[in-house]
Amino acid sequence: MEFFKIRRDIPFMKNALVFNVISLITFLAAVFFLATKGLHLSVEFTGGTVMEVSYSQPPDVENVRRAVSNLGYSDVQVQNFGTARDVIIRLPAQKGVSSAQQSDRTFQALKATDPGITLRRVEFVGPQVGEELVSNGLKALGMVVAGIMLYLAIRFEWKFAVAAIIANLHDVVIILGFFAFFQWEFSLAVLAAVLAVLGYSVNESVVIFDRIRENFRRYRKMNTVETIDNAITSTISRTIITHGSTQMMVLSMLLFGGATLHHFALALTIGILFGIYSSVFVAAAIAMWLGIKREDLVKGERKRGEGDPNDPNAGATV
């Protein structure tokens, strides 16, 4: 399916070096902010108090969040849990304040706004749980990266595998850099978004890589740069349809999903935008710098009808 077809190839690789320098500067800036500012981790990672309260009537979550924020919490997670009348609240740990004191103070503030509120449960999330989540999250990220690299090395060629992993890590680090620079809260939902972006970005890279391999087989007179430009140009319509429809759905979560989905949708938005960029100007360009060529992708193919001018399939491959 195509909305439009571009008749003339766009010379993407002509400016590949310029865009790669921009990518490197952006990447290094993200690393700098991660090293100096660090991530603003949520309660799941740092530890804190989790409260579940129940209202007689479905409450306005924004009003609940406002009441809790008035107690001095800059970042507090408030969302419906189970039914529309049940609300779960995650409070970050405070020095010199016990979990019982936190929950009691918060419950009293909420009860002042609605006397019909009842406290269902209170739990304390220790820092050791957060350390375990960080460890498991890094393991999940490492397994995803290793799996993608192994798949691409088998499916295509090791140069494509290296190029795709560099491009995907470029996307991930830049997302984390945004969260570090603006000190947006990094939660488990955001971690899930980062892992989703990894899969989403590699899908775009695979589509372009597959078209490059197909072009190497089909257009034998094209050099590597022309082959890559043609592959990217011929997949633009598909990219616009896929990423455009996905981005519309993510933007709807960002604009109308409320505070609960805000950072999740924000991470996906950044990841999708940089995923398109990295697949074209990072993954494809790095594969070009690594010296990808026709012989790397058509190994073992034999030519048919060579030297026979009457054979319509002369020079074709099987």
Q: Convert the pLDDT of each residue in 201-210 to its tens digit.
A: 888 888 888 8
Alpha-carbon Rg for the chain, nearest whole angstrom, is 26
Same domain, 133 and 56: no
Same domain? For 121 and 140 the reply is no
136 and 121 part of one domain: no
State mean pLDDT over 141-167: 82
pLDDT 10s digits, 190-224:
988 988 888 788 888 888 888 998 998 888 888 99
State the total domains in the chain: 2
pLDDT tens for each residue of 230-283:
999 988 888 888 888 899 999 999 998 877 788 999 999 999 989 888 888 898
- In this structure, the answer to whether residues 80 and 137 fall within a common structural domain is no
Both 262 and 154 in one domain: the answer is: yes
Three-state SS string over the chain comes to: CCCCCCCCCCCHHHHHHHHHHHHHHHHHHHHHHHHHCCCEECHHHHCEEEEEEECCCCCCHHHHHHHHHCCCCCCCEEEEECEEEEEEEEEECCCCCCHHHHHHHHHHHHHHHCCCCEEEEEEEECHHHHHHHHHHHHHHHHHHHHHHHHHHHHHCCHHHHHHHHHHHHHHHHHHHHHHHHHCCEECHHHHHHHHHHHHHHHHHHHHHHHHHHHHHHHCCCCCHHHHHHHHHHHCHHHHHHHHHHHHHHHHHHHHHCHHHHHHHHHHHHHHHHHHHHHHHHHHHHHHHHCCCCHHHHCCCCCECCCCCCCCCCCCCEC
| 236: in domain | yes
> Is the same domain home to 203 and 269?
yes
Instruction: Say what the pLDDT of residue 315 is.
Output: 43
Whether residue 313 lies inside any domain: the answer is no
Domain span at residue 172 reads 12-39+129-297
Whether residue 134 lies inside any domain: the answer is: yes
Query: Are residues 272 and 210 both part of a single domain?
Result: yes
Do 138 and 60 lie in one domain? The reply is no
What strand order describes the sheet that includes 83-92? Answer: 77-81, 83-92, 48-54, 118-125
pLDDT digit string (tens) for 109-147?
999 988 889 999 888 877 666 677 778 877 877 887 788
The whole-angstrom separation of Cα 85 and Cα 226 is: 60
Task: Using the Cα atoms of residue 179, residue 184, residue 188 and residue 190 in order, give the sign of their dihedral.
Answer: negative
Shared-domain flag, residues 163 and 256: yes
Do 245 and 278 reside in the same domain of the chain?
yes
pLDDT at 197: 87
CATH number, domain containing residue 223? 1.20.1640.10
β-bridge partners, 51: 89, 122
**Residue 81: C-alpha distances to residues 162, 192, 240 (Å):** 43, 19, 37
Domain stops at, among 125, 148, 181: 125
pTM given for the model: 0.77
Same domain, 28 and 147: yes
Residue 314 lies in a domain: no
Q: Which residue has the higher pLDDT, 297 or 183?
A: 183
137 and 266 housed in the same domain:
yes
In a domain, 2, yes or no: no
Domain contains 112: yes
